Amino acid sequence: MRIRHIVTAVVLAVLTPIAAGVAVLMHPQPAFAYHVQSGRLSLFSDKPFDTEKSKSLLAEVDRRLRLASLDHRDGEHRIFVANSYWRARLVFLWNFGAGGVNYYPLTRNVFIRESDIDNDRVQRTAGPVPPPRTFAYYAAHEIAHSLTGEAAGPLSYHRLPAWIREGAADYIGLAEKVDFEDLIERLRADDPELDPKRSGLYLRYRLLVSFFLDHEHWSLEQLLASPMPQPEAEARMLAAFTN
Protein backbone atom coordinates (compact mmCIF):
# COMPACT_ATOMS: atom_id res chain seq x y z
CA MET A 1 0.00 0.00 0.00
CA ARG A 2 2.78 2.39 0.94
CA ILE A 3 4.64 1.61 -2.29
CA ARG A 4 1.47 2.39 -4.26
CA HIS A 5 1.25 5.79 -2.56
CA ILE A 6 4.90 6.51 -3.33
CA VAL A 7 4.43 5.48 -6.99
CA THR A 8 1.32 7.70 -7.25
CA ALA A 9 3.23 10.63 -5.69
CA VAL A 10 6.14 10.17 -8.11
CA VAL A 11 3.81 9.89 -11.14
CA LEU A 12 1.95 13.05 -10.04
CA ALA A 13 5.23 14.89 -9.43
CA VAL A 14 6.30 14.09 -12.99
CA LEU A 15 2.95 14.57 -14.75
CA THR A 16 1.76 17.77 -13.03
CA PRO A 17 4.52 20.04 -14.46
CA ILE A 18 4.10 18.42 -17.90
CA ALA A 19 0.32 19.04 -17.82
CA ALA A 20 0.94 22.63 -16.65
CA GLY A 21 3.50 23.13 -19.46
CA VAL A 22 1.08 21.79 -22.09
CA ALA A 23 -1.72 24.05 -20.73
CA VAL A 24 0.59 27.10 -21.04
CA LEU A 25 1.48 26.27 -24.67
CA MET A 26 -2.18 25.76 -25.58
CA HIS A 27 -3.53 28.81 -23.71
CA PRO A 28 -0.71 31.33 -23.21
CA GLN A 29 -2.93 34.43 -23.72
CA PRO A 30 -2.98 35.53 -20.03
CA ALA A 31 0.81 36.00 -20.12
CA PHE A 32 0.68 38.26 -23.22
CA ALA A 33 -1.15 41.53 -22.53
CA TYR A 34 -1.03 43.16 -25.98
CA HIS A 35 -3.06 41.75 -28.84
CA VAL A 36 -4.20 42.49 -32.37
CA GLN A 37 -6.33 40.39 -34.71
CA SER A 38 -6.41 40.52 -38.49
CA GLY A 39 -8.69 37.91 -40.09
CA ARG A 40 -7.49 34.42 -39.18
CA LEU A 41 -4.19 35.71 -37.74
CA SER A 42 -3.73 36.90 -34.15
CA LEU A 43 -0.63 38.55 -32.74
CA PHE A 44 0.10 38.63 -29.01
CA SER A 45 3.05 40.25 -27.26
CA ASP A 46 4.18 41.05 -23.73
CA LYS A 47 5.27 44.52 -24.97
CA PRO A 48 3.12 47.22 -26.64
CA PHE A 49 3.34 47.63 -30.43
CA ASP A 50 1.81 49.80 -33.13
CA THR A 51 -1.60 48.45 -34.17
CA GLU A 52 -1.57 49.71 -37.77
CA LYS A 53 2.00 48.51 -38.45
CA SER A 54 1.23 45.11 -36.93
CA LYS A 55 -1.88 44.74 -39.10
CA SER A 56 0.09 45.32 -42.28
CA LEU A 57 2.68 42.87 -41.00
CA LEU A 58 -0.03 40.24 -40.45
CA ALA A 59 -1.34 40.97 -43.98
CA GLU A 60 2.16 40.18 -45.28
CA VAL A 61 2.26 36.90 -43.29
CA ASP A 62 -1.18 36.05 -44.69
CA ARG A 63 0.01 36.77 -48.26
CA ARG A 64 2.93 34.36 -47.86
CA LEU A 65 0.73 31.61 -46.44
CA ARG A 66 -1.85 32.04 -49.23
CA LEU A 67 0.82 31.21 -51.82
CA ALA A 68 0.96 27.68 -50.39
CA SER A 69 -1.43 25.32 -52.17
CA LEU A 70 -2.15 23.54 -48.89
CA ASP A 71 -3.35 26.68 -47.09
CA HIS A 72 -7.08 26.01 -46.81
CA ARG A 73 -7.59 29.21 -44.78
CA ASP A 74 -9.52 27.37 -42.09
CA GLY A 75 -9.21 28.26 -38.42
CA GLU A 76 -7.09 30.71 -36.51
CA HIS A 77 -3.29 30.89 -36.16
CA ARG A 78 -1.90 32.73 -33.12
CA ILE A 79 1.58 34.23 -32.96
CA PHE A 80 3.04 34.95 -29.50
CA VAL A 81 6.08 37.19 -29.09
CA ALA A 82 8.01 36.41 -25.90
CA ASN A 83 10.25 39.40 -25.17
CA SER A 84 10.88 38.78 -21.48
CA TYR A 85 13.32 36.09 -20.42
CA TRP A 86 10.88 34.19 -18.20
CA ARG A 87 8.16 34.08 -20.88
CA ALA A 88 10.69 32.84 -23.44
CA ARG A 89 11.79 30.15 -20.94
CA LEU A 90 8.15 29.19 -20.38
CA VAL A 91 7.20 28.75 -24.03
CA PHE A 92 10.46 27.79 -25.77
CA LEU A 93 11.35 24.94 -23.36
CA TRP A 94 14.06 22.77 -24.97
CA ASN A 95 14.05 25.07 -28.05
CA PHE A 96 15.36 28.04 -26.03
CA GLY A 97 18.10 28.87 -28.56
CA ALA A 98 15.65 29.10 -31.48
CA GLY A 99 14.20 32.30 -32.99
CA GLY A 100 10.78 30.70 -33.38
CA VAL A 101 9.03 27.48 -32.41
CA ASN A 102 6.01 25.43 -33.43
CA TYR A 103 4.62 22.51 -31.37
CA TYR A 104 2.56 20.78 -34.07
CA PRO A 105 0.39 18.72 -33.45
CA LEU A 106 -0.07 19.92 -29.86
CA THR A 107 -1.28 23.41 -30.81
CA ARG A 108 -1.48 25.90 -33.70
CA ASN A 109 0.05 28.58 -31.46
CA VAL A 110 3.52 29.59 -32.61
CA PHE A 111 6.13 31.47 -30.57
CA ILE A 112 8.72 34.04 -31.62
CA ARG A 113 11.61 35.37 -29.52
CA GLU A 114 12.20 39.01 -28.63
CA SER A 115 11.09 41.18 -31.57
CA ASP A 116 10.71 44.74 -32.76
CA ILE A 117 7.27 44.26 -34.29
CA ASP A 118 7.00 47.91 -35.43
CA ASN A 119 10.13 47.47 -37.58
CA ASP A 120 9.44 43.87 -38.68
CA ARG A 121 12.58 42.51 -36.98
CA VAL A 122 13.41 39.60 -34.67
CA GLN A 123 16.17 40.38 -32.16
CA ARG A 124 19.03 37.99 -31.49
CA THR A 125 22.03 38.47 -29.19
CA ALA A 126 24.07 39.76 -32.15
CA GLY A 127 21.36 42.36 -32.94
CA PRO A 128 18.30 42.47 -35.21
CA VAL A 129 18.21 39.66 -37.80
CA PRO A 130 18.65 41.28 -41.24
CA PRO A 131 16.22 40.80 -44.16
CA PRO A 132 15.07 38.56 -45.70
CA ARG A 133 14.63 36.88 -42.29
CA THR A 134 12.18 39.48 -41.04
CA PHE A 135 9.50 39.09 -38.36
CA ALA A 136 7.00 38.27 -41.16
CA TYR A 137 9.37 35.52 -42.33
CA TYR A 138 9.70 33.98 -38.84
CA ALA A 139 5.92 34.09 -38.29
CA ALA A 140 5.10 32.63 -41.74
CA HIS A 141 7.82 29.94 -41.34
CA GLU A 142 6.42 28.77 -38.00
CA ILE A 143 2.78 28.80 -39.19
CA ALA A 144 3.91 26.93 -42.32
CA HIS A 145 4.96 24.08 -39.98
CA SER A 146 1.31 23.87 -38.82
CA LEU A 147 0.01 23.87 -42.42
CA THR A 148 2.48 21.27 -43.70
CA GLY A 149 2.04 19.18 -40.52
CA GLU A 150 -1.74 19.17 -40.92
CA ALA A 151 -1.40 18.24 -44.60
CA ALA A 152 0.99 15.34 -43.89
CA GLY A 153 -0.50 14.09 -40.60
CA PRO A 154 1.45 13.95 -37.32
CA LEU A 155 3.20 10.59 -37.76
CA SER A 156 4.29 11.10 -41.37
CA TYR A 157 5.26 14.70 -40.61
CA HIS A 158 7.67 13.84 -37.82
CA ARG A 159 9.21 11.10 -39.99
CA LEU A 160 9.93 13.53 -42.85
CA PRO A 161 13.58 14.32 -43.49
CA ALA A 162 14.69 17.77 -42.28
CA TRP A 163 15.18 19.03 -45.85
CA ILE A 164 11.44 18.63 -46.55
CA ARG A 165 10.18 19.77 -43.12
CA GLU A 166 12.36 22.88 -42.84
CA GLY A 167 12.70 23.45 -46.59
CA ALA A 168 8.92 23.60 -47.07
CA ALA A 169 8.54 25.95 -44.08
CA ASP A 170 11.23 28.24 -45.51
CA TYR A 171 9.79 28.01 -49.03
CA ILE A 172 6.47 29.32 -47.65
CA GLY A 173 8.06 31.65 -45.07
CA LEU A 174 10.28 33.48 -47.55
CA ALA A 175 7.85 33.34 -50.49
CA GLU A 176 10.50 34.21 -53.06
CA LYS A 177 11.94 32.23 -55.93
CA VAL A 178 15.51 30.95 -55.74
CA ASP A 179 18.20 31.51 -58.36
CA PHE A 180 18.99 27.87 -59.24
CA GLU A 181 22.11 28.53 -61.32
CA ASP A 182 23.72 30.68 -58.62
CA LEU A 183 22.82 28.45 -55.66
CA ILE A 184 23.81 25.18 -57.36
CA GLU A 185 27.17 26.68 -58.30
CA ARG A 186 27.65 27.71 -54.66
CA LEU A 187 26.53 24.25 -53.48
CA ARG A 188 29.15 22.63 -55.72
CA ALA A 189 31.78 25.03 -54.34
CA ASP A 190 30.84 24.01 -50.76
CA ASP A 191 29.68 27.53 -49.79
CA PRO A 192 29.22 27.44 -45.98
CA GLU A 193 25.96 29.37 -46.30
CA LEU A 194 24.49 26.27 -47.93
CA ASP A 195 25.47 24.06 -45.00
CA PRO A 196 22.71 24.31 -42.35
CA LYS A 197 25.12 23.10 -39.64
CA ARG A 198 27.69 25.82 -40.35
CA SER A 199 25.36 28.69 -41.27
CA GLY A 200 22.28 27.92 -39.15
CA LEU A 201 20.27 28.65 -42.33
CA TYR A 202 17.88 26.41 -44.27
CA LEU A 203 18.98 27.74 -47.67
CA ARG A 204 20.12 24.30 -48.90
CA TYR A 205 16.78 22.75 -47.88
CA ARG A 206 14.82 25.59 -49.54
CA LEU A 207 16.85 25.14 -52.72
CA LEU A 208 15.95 21.43 -52.80
CA VAL A 209 12.26 22.06 -52.09
CA SER A 210 12.23 24.82 -54.75
CA PHE A 211 13.75 22.36 -57.23
CA PHE A 212 10.91 19.87 -56.79
CA LEU A 213 8.13 22.49 -56.66
CA ASP A 214 9.26 25.09 -59.19
CA HIS A 215 11.50 23.09 -61.54
CA GLU A 216 9.90 19.62 -61.45
CA HIS A 217 6.39 21.02 -60.83
CA TRP A 218 5.55 18.74 -57.93
CA SER A 219 2.81 19.89 -55.54
CA LEU A 220 3.61 20.49 -51.88
CA GLU A 221 1.24 17.63 -51.00
CA GLN A 222 3.23 15.32 -53.32
CA LEU A 223 6.49 16.35 -51.67
CA LEU A 224 5.10 15.78 -48.17
CA ALA A 225 3.92 12.29 -49.22
CA SER A 226 7.35 11.36 -50.58
CA PRO A 227 9.94 11.31 -47.81
CA MET A 228 12.86 11.16 -50.22
CA PRO A 229 16.26 10.98 -48.50
CA GLN A 230 18.33 14.16 -48.91
CA PRO A 231 21.21 12.53 -50.87
CA GLU A 232 18.73 11.22 -53.47
CA ALA A 233 17.04 14.63 -53.75
CA GLU A 234 20.42 16.34 -54.21
CA ALA A 235 21.55 13.80 -56.81
CA ARG A 236 18.35 14.40 -58.81
CA MET A 237 18.77 18.17 -58.63
CA LEU A 238 22.47 18.12 -59.60
CA ALA A 239 21.74 15.72 -62.50
CA ALA A 240 19.10 18.14 -63.82
CA PHE A 241 21.61 21.01 -63.73
CA THR A 242 24.58 19.20 -65.28
CA ASN A 243 26.11 21.31 -68.01
Shortest Cβ 134–Zn ion spacing (Å) = 15
Task: Rank residues 166 and 234 by Cβ distance to Zn ion and give the closer one.
Answer: 166
Task: Rank residues 169 and 203 by Cβ distance to Zn ion and give the closer one.
Answer: 169
Q: Does 110 bind Zn ion (CB under 5 A)?
A: no
Q: Does 117 bind Zn ion (CB under 5 A)?
A: no
Task: Rank residues 169 and 187 by Cβ distance to Zn ion and give the closer one.
Answer: 169
Helix (H/G/I), strand (E/B), else coil: 182: helix
Spatial separation of the C-alpha atoms in residues 66 and 110, rounded to whole Å: 18
Site string for Zn ion, 148-187 (x = CB under 5 A): ------------------x--x------------------
What Rg, from alpha-carbon coordinates, does the chain have? 20
Q: Does 122 bind Zn ion (CB under 5 A)?
A: no
Helix or strand (DSSP H, E) at 154:
helix 154-159
N-to-C CA span, the chain: 76
Maximum distance among all Cα pairs of the chain, rounded to whole angstroms:
76
Spatial separation of the C-alpha atoms in residues 142 and 146, rounded to whole Å: 7
Task: Rank residues 169 and 175 by Cβ distance to Zn ion and give the closer one.
Answer: 169
Q: Does 101 bind Zn ion (CB under 5 A)?
A: no
Interface positions with Zn ion (CB under 5 A) = 166, 169
